[in-house]
Structure 1
Amino acid sequence: MIELQHTTKTHDESRQGEALDMLPTGKSTGRKLYIESYGCQMNFSDSEIVASILLDNGFETTRDYKEADVVFINTCSIRENAEQRVRNRLKEFESAKAKNPGMVVGVLGCMAERLKSKFLEEEKLVDVVVGPDAYRDLPNLIGKVDDGSKAVNVLLSREETYADISPVRLNSNGISAFISIMRGCDNMCSFCVVPFTRGRERSRDCYSVLKEAQDLFNAGYREVTLLGQNVDSYKYTKPVIEGQTPEPAVNFAQLLAMVAEVSPELRVRFSTSHPKDITDEVLHTMARYENICKYIHLPVQSGSSRVLELMNRTYDREWYMDRVNAIRRIIPSCGISTDVITGFCTETEDEHQETLSMMDYVKYDFAYMFAYSERPGTLAAKRYEDDVPEEVKKRRLTEVVNKQQEHSLYRLQNFVGNVQKVLIEGFSKRSDQDYCGRNDQNTMVVFPVDERFKPGQYVHVLAERCTSATLIGRIVD
């Protein structure tokens, strides 16, 4: 989720491809790199790691793939049509390669392991396939392709966190940045490919996270988002040195506090939380620090306990509602967003109604919503029949989207007439006469430019009205 600022987007609509800007480099080889990223925030964060590795090896970067010597597409496997989009894009790169035979085309990320044989051998669309734990090997793999070979490294690691690599901030506004705090996932949700494409969960050294946050703040950034497939299960234990007393493990609540204490001027966000792991300790930490944003992305997926069990989510309807109640009790102003899947295997009409009633109970600020798409290799694909007709899935999805539109508008209307603290991110998309930025709850706010304030500064904005997805107001003293 590259930015959770859209109110009622389906999963595919909210996550688009993005390429990189031209960046300076040290010892240049004269070769140009182009990366296009799809999918979740972690993919975009990974592209910044890839760019850093290759820039250190003399590459420059470009926004035009037609002039690139090396073209990578960082992929997402979460839905079938996402894969088709990538395949179509690779065919466009193939046309460019016909005019530039020396061009190296590669696939990175979550599709790499599962589709390596198709991409390399059957369709012959790429020269190199690299999994998310093998990015350090890219210079070597590109060298193999230069020598006339195809190159593959999709080995998963139990240790790799890229903690020592300083990411190159791509398409950055110089204000907001991602910090990856962990990799992989140990939750075997039956619909999800992540444990198979990103490997087992491992947490990054908390001191390297803290250093990256400090370096970003020193460089002028004023907002960081801590990333992980399940941030609430973060746990870093410092290796024991012989003769020294072991240090206690650092959990996510403690890491949050450490990053928040870099500066009260540094906003801290995080994604994604898992309902089975989010603790009251995390919620109390959020409440204690003004600069930890009061916003939680808490995927529900379904409002039915039976469907949640089939999904192997390891919580039920009542547990999820208890966690929502805890959020409302400890952080009354907290915004909550979610993910919803419609039409999962054997889902009945009554169970769909349970999802709608859960949405009524929580009244999410915004949501990512999509119809179930069976992914090869997942537990659901092996165990259950994808038996809900497509037209039923789509009809249920429409009902979920309509419901969310009502709730999003309700939440936005509650902001109208109140003053919001907003970090100015830049000019709005529609006019250079307006600034835009987000409030604590991750809602986009648009307001007229005031020459006293610049992007990267905080302002107080009186929300005077709203659209279906945006607050509109003016700066007040």
Structure 2
Amino acid sequence: SPGDIIEEITALADAGVREVTLLGQNVNSYAYDDGSKDDGQPFVKLLSMVCAVEKIERVRFVTSHPKDISTELIELFAKEDKLARHIHLPVQSGSDKVLEMMGRGYTSGDYLKKVERLKALYPEMSITTDIIVGFPGERDEDFEQTLALIDKVRFDNIYSFKYSPRPETLAAGFDAQVEDGIKSKRLLLLQERQVAITAEKSRELVGTTARVLVEGRSVKDSEELTGRSSINRVINFPGAKALVGEIIDVSITKALPNSLRGVHIERSLN
């Protein structure tokens, strides 16, 4: 129930936790008690309750299903400063034909409308996604539509996979299974396209300041700390171990392939 969740989060906050993530396979469809959805927005209400917990400074949620992203949820970002400016919104494909075969319940146009609404309200919003290539029946033109969607949205990152048949699923019995070599080629093309977009977006962040939750020592350099910004970017910077667990200001100085570098900016007490 919401009460149980808030009780657990309050205890975590009292123990020093500063950031929490609400996790679900489709977290937006959260319901409680008898399973009814009340006015249809129980997840929005739950998020508001979590944001109201004192000592919690940042709130994330994952994973969202595109068909369940409501106007109320989108607008909540404007009301709750504690909500991280990042949303993981798996699109899976840019082809309406493939989306229909997957049974996703939305079109590429539906998806783009929600993304455009998010970006119009919050230009700094980071959007990541999942994409499957080589779903049964995926033609070259379907894959090109996926690439076109990537170019249009300019995702911050993509988790991409080759389709693999799973026993006792409808898709495993579909005709027109895609050859593995074609899947591999498409995956490589997609990943190369996204690497370029991510690199460009990373360069755009150089010179800006981010609020970073310090997670610990950097794996590659024990003299440095590592943390994650509101838009879910990993940032490494020199600093003392005492900063671990705190949310601090970091000025971004350099963009690297898989992370950013920066320097800690100490806030004036004046």
Bigger Rg, structure 1 or 2:
1
Given the alignment of the two structures, is residue 426 of structure 1 paired with residue 222 of structure 2, yes or no? no
* Deviation at residue 224 of structure 1 after TM alignment: 1.0
User: Of the candidates 242, 245, 248, which is equivalent to residue 456 of structure 1?
Assistant: 245
Given the alignment of the two structures, is residue 471 of structure 1 paired with residue 267 of structure 2, yes or no? no
Residue of structure 2 in register with 1:230 after alignment: 26
* Deviation at residue 235 of structure 1 after TM alignment: 2.1
Q: After TM superposition, list the pairs within 5 Å mapping 1:66-465 onto structure 2.
A: 205-237=1-33, 251-263=42-54, 265-382=56-173, 384-385=174-175, 387-450=177-240, 453-465=242-254
Runs of 4+ residues deviating >6 angstroms: none
* Deviation at residue 454 of structure 1 after TM alignment: 1.6
What secondary structure is seen at the aligned counterpart in 2 of 1:291? coil
C-alpha distance 326-429 of structure 1, shift in aligned 2 (>3 A): same
The number of residues matched between the two structures is 265
Whichever residue aligns with residue 251 of structure 2, its letter is L
Q: Work out which structure has the larger RCO, using CA pairs closer than 8 Å and 6 or more positions apart in sequence.
A: 2
TM-score normalised by L of structure 1: 0.54
* Deviation at residue 385 of structure 1 after TM alignment: 2.3
Cα distance in 2, alignment partners of residues 378 and 331 from structure 1: 38
Gaps of 5+ in 1: 1-204, 241-246
Cα distance in 1, alignment partners of residues 115 and 243 from structure 2: 36
Q: Cα RMSD between the aligned structures? A: 1.8
Contact between 2:18 and 2:55, CA under 8 Å: does it hold in 1? no
Contact between 1:412 and 1:469, CA under 8 Å: does it hold in 2? no
C-alpha distance 449-386 of structure 1, shift in aligned 2 (>3 A): farther
Whichever residue aligns with residue 271 of structure 1, its letter is V
TM-score normalised by L of structure 2: 0.93
Structure with higher helix content? 2
Cα distance in 2, alignment partners of residues 253 and 210 from structure 1: 14
Contact between 1:264 and 1:290, CA under 8 Å: does it hold in 2? no
C-alpha distance 239-271 of structure 1, shift in aligned 2 (>3 A): closer
Whichever residue aligns with residue 233 of structure 2, its letter is T
Residue of structure 2 in register with 1:123 after alignment: none
* Deviation at residue 222 of structure 1 after TM alignment: 1.2
Contact between 1:303 and 1:358, CA under 8 Å: does it hold in 2? yes
